[in-house]
Structure 1
């Protein structure tokens, strides 16, 4: 008991116990406030932001507590030990420290947020959660075509924001350019084909075009970027077999596949209405019959 009493009188031990008690109180407080926000706030977006805000405030309080504790006069004699311990801990937990730093970087600089479609570390998908260590992504692509979900949920360390590029499909400009090729024969009416395709594209994409022009104007004001063409455009190229009409257009980043499908349907119906003046080209193989040979034997 005497040894225990002497140990508790040691200022360093006393400060360690106080630090531990405060850490437990802050961690329990974070958990309680997160559950309270989950039960009281119905709006999913506001609830998510409130929970993340509580978590970040808790981390800041812990950092302040550690900073105050280790700068007190009673531990100044242990600066060398603390320095060596901190250096070793930093080296051992560098990935964890980078991940936590990455979470602050993501949050304050708004690199991406839940709901954004990103590609990071060669993984593409929609962000569904960001915590202090990991970013959780609903994967798209891989063994499925186009921008469909694969069904896999992937966790990526937040440290990757410092290690490579992050491709964000929705930040500032939630539209992407896409293209499709229509192949027509050389005996088709080229001008009629161009008009048919452009009329169909303009009619179908008018909402996306008007909406994207407003967003692009903001982009031009904010960034050093040229005022690009937003309206659908058509380019022609000639091959040995057919004429290629390349349609370039803008669309919502989440609706790229469905918009391309509707464009193909509309253009195919419009070409049929030309009554043969415009013909879709295809590879044709012609099989020739071997000529019959008459053999006369004397």
Structure 2
């Protein structure tokens, strides 16, 4: 061993103490990496639950590097003490040069501690909307929804955003606290239609669809009120009436799960089409323009 150490010193200039510190550091890194591999292998054999596997992998990805830094730092600390002033200047220069990575690291700490969102939440941050599928030291990842796809369904694209975005962009969480959103469906009928009957039909449809939603939402609000000032006077669905240029607009407003918005609209629209198809005095309206010639009445006579 002495011959090997002397050979390395002769060709690299590294002292025996420095060689020893390098060897111990490498040993620590290899040992902890092997330990992480073995733990994950046991977890993979014990469970096929994707969420459990992910949590173990992410937890070890945080713990192992942290422990590695502490142990390797302890090995090299005596050598660092001799260069305290130099390291102080070096760290200041690094802080300036690595401003963005350090901001992202601070963003990660904010996300972990404050939890504006967690893995599995559906959020909008800036112009990007999607489901959070991963949170790392410098960036978080979401599965995009919306964009060119209607009704908040997945586009299939994965978006990576720097953690520092949480300090610069507002975040809207669809899942945290109150797990429902208000959705609206606009139904337009002609002025000649029996709007009162149409409104009654829509009320029956949405009340039947949302029969148990209000009860569940009330429990959700009660739980969410422990952390947020959330208050709603009415949670039951309602149909609003308005007059537009082309006819009467009946707007259905109801609560739904954000991931079921398109599915709920599909079910409700099918019932609306079937119900209106059976009524001769209810017709759908759309933007139109009417022309009259001089001397003609409204009926065209």
Residue 296 of structure 1 aligns with which residue? none
Pair 1:61-2:67 in alignment: yes
| Residue 170 (structure 1) aligned with residue 175 (structure 2) | yes
TM-score (norm 2): 0.81
Deviates more, 1:156-165 or 1:15-24: 15-24
1:4 paired to 2:9: yes
DSSP 3-state at the match of 2:245: coil
Match of 1:281 in 2: 285
Structure 1 unaligned residues grouped into runs of 5+:
292-298
1:187-224: CA deviation from partner (whole Å, max 9, x where unpaired): 33333222111111110122333322221222234312
Matched, 1:141 2:146: yes
- Cα distance, 1:289–1:174 mapped onto 2, change above 3 Å: same
TM-score of the two chains, using structure 1 as the length reference: 0.82
Tell me the distance in 2 between the aligned counterparts of 1:34 and 1:61.
Answer: 17
Q: Distance in 1 between the 2:137 and 2:92 partners?
A: 22
Instruction: For residue 91 of structure 1, report the CA deviation from its aligned partner.
Output: 2.8
Structure-2 change in CA distance of 1:82 and 1:54 (3 Å) = same
Query: Alpha carbons of 1:245 and 1:2: their partners in 2 closer, same or farther (altered >3 Å)?
Result: closer
Report the counterpart of residue 200 of structure 1 in structure 2.
205
- Distance in 2 separating the partners of 1:82 and 1:13: 21
SS at match of 1:218: helix
Structure 1 segment 113-124 matched on structure 2, within 5 A: 113-124=118-129
Aligned partner of 2:299 in structure 1 is: none
1:105 corresponds in structure 2 to: 110
Distance of aligned partners of 1:154 and 1:68 in 2 relative to their CA distance in 1, 3 Å threshold: same
How far 1:20 moved relative to its partner?
A: 4.7
**SS across alignment from 1:222:** coil
Deviation at 1:250, TM superposition (A): 0.9
Cα displacement (A) at 1:246: 1.6
Residue 79 of structure 1 deviates from its aligned partner by 1.0
Q: How far does residue 179 in structure 1 lie from its aligned partner after superposition?
A: 0.8
